[in-house]
Amino acid sequence: MLASLLIIFRKHAIASSTLAFCLVLAGFLLVRFQPTSAVGYRVDRGSVRMEIRGTGTLEGVQEVPVAFRVGGRIQDLAMEEGALVRAGQILGRLDPSEAERQLEVAQANQALSRTGVSRAQAEVEHTTATQERAQAELERARTLFSQGILSQAALDVAVEQAKVATAQVNANMGAQRQSLDSVRVAQASTAVQRRTVEETFLVAPMEGLLVKRLREPGHVVGAGTPVYTLVSTKKFWIRAWVDETALGFLAPGQETRVLFRSAPGRFYAGRVDRVSRKVDYQTHELLVDIELLELPSTFAIGQRADAIIRPGAETALRVPRSYCPEVGAACWVEREGRAVRVEVRLGRIGEDFVEVLEGLREGDRVIRRRGTRGGFQSKERVAITEETS
């Protein structure tokens, strides 16, 4: 009886282990050959709005040094770095004492020269009157000589006196002209010295932002030595470096979005102002100047920013960017229910779509794994859920 029970138990144990093995094998085969869940998109023709990215710095279109026109010791500087100034605003002054002293000397010389003109005028008037009397005496002498009343010697004396009077008039008129010239020279000298006094003031040549203060009160500077650096606030731009491959798509006026690293999370509007025609030999990048249409509330010249240039949209054969990553330029395509890797050549890279130049045809179904960035194994079976644009 016991032996029979042992035989029955052994038969049941073998059956149970066989069943367990079959279940494990069935589960393995189910997992191994079950189609992978994927998302698919039918290649179509549609709008591709390209994005060209570059990194650059904030610059002022016009940056000028501000300097005194005359030399001297700085007495005062009124403005600090970061100040906004208007055209004609006084920014500082040199010690004016020497210039004012020279102006006083010039004004005294001008007054003296005017006195000389008055004296010369009086001399001209006096000698003119003497000349007129001498000329009248000469005429009288000639009349008397013709009547035989006056001798030749007396007539000669009258002629000589008239010549002397005329010479004195001419000499005094020459002195008067010299005095007038002296007045003009003195006036010019006074004007120069007055301008020198005025130029001891440092004046902003335009409206702008003071980005550097290079000197301090007490410093002695020469004419033209920069004291401030002033950047015009009329126009700012980002000088962005862009890969040379984008050159054929760039043009002035294109819409641009700018992201400042000091103000993350917000884009500022801009537009392409000009495109360089010189590529850097080392980096193979070119400069694109982007005019800013708005700025953060706080900014600094030279700070870095990222620019996204958006040329006009074009109609092209396209797929969503998530299906054909730019790196590697390959897509997974569904062929008879299985995943096949296809090499492609891409054109415009847009915000949502990429242009396909070679490798795919309209109607092909590109695929990607659902919920993961991983690819497929070659010929892997896939179960696809369709995605539309």
- How far apart are alpha carbons 122 and 173 in whole angstroms? 10
Domains, the chain: 52-60+234-314 (2.40.30.170), 63-95+208-231 (2.40.50.100), 97-198 (1.10.287.1700)
Q: How far apart are CA 224 and CA 240, in angstroms?
A: 32
SS3 content of the chain, % helix, strand, coil (to 5): 35, 35, 30
How far is CA 152 from each of CA 132, 144, 158, 264, 336, rounded to the nearest angstrom?
22, 10, 10, 114, 146
Write down the pLDDT at residue 356.
92
User: 50-77 as b/e, with b when 16 or more CB fall inside 10 Å?
Assistant: bebebebebbbeeebebbbebebebeeb
Cα three-residue angle 145-148-150, rounded to 5 degrees: 50
Using CA atoms, how far apart are residues 204 and 65, in angstroms rounded to an integer? 10
Bridge partners (DSSP) of residue 333 are 340, 366
Rg (CA), the chain: 49
Among 9-18, 85-94, 96-105, 215-224, the minimum mean pLDDT is found in 9-18
pLDDT for 351 equals 78
pLDDT digit string (tens) for 255-291?
999 999 888 889 999 999 999 999 999 999 999 999 9
Lowest mean pLDDT among 3-7, 179-183, 365-369: 3-7
What are the helix (H) ranges across the chain? 2-33, 97-146, 152-198
pLDDT digits (tens, 9 = 90+) for 112-168: 878 877 887 888 788 888 878 878 877 887 888 788 787 888 777 878 887 887 888
- Which strand ranges, in their side-by-side order, compose the sheet holding 72-77? 201-203, 90-94, 72-77, 220-221
Q: Find tokens 């980005």 and name the residue.
A: 211
The reported pLDDT for the residue numbered 33 is: 59
Q: Which pLDDT score, from 0 to 100, does residue 373 have?
A: 67
Measured CA to CA, the distance from residue 207 to residue 91 in angstroms comes to 12
The percentage of residues in the chain with a pLDDT greater than 70, rounded to a whole number, is: 90
Strand-pairing partners, residue 274, are 289
Segment 330-340 mean pLDDT: 91
CB proximity list for 349: less than 8 A, separation 6 or greater: 50, 51, 321, 326, 355
Residues 6 or more apart whose CB falls under 8 angstroms from that of 236 comprise 58, 59, 60, 61, 291, 292, 295
CB 56 within 8 A of CB 241: yes
pLDDT of residue 24 exceeding 50, the answer is: no
For all residues of the chain together, what is the average pLDDT?
85
Q: Which of 56-70, 72-86, 155-169, 334-348 shows the lowest mean pLDDT across its residues?
A: 155-169
More confident residue, 106 or 88: 88
Q: Among candidates 373, 367, 372, which has minimal Cα distance to 385?
A: 367
Q: What percent of the chain has pLDDT over 90?
A: 44
- CA 285 from centroid of its chain's CA atoms: 19
pLDDT at 41 over 60: yes
Residue 125 CB partners (closer than 8 Å, separation 6+): none
Rounded Cα distance between 175 and 15, Å, is 146
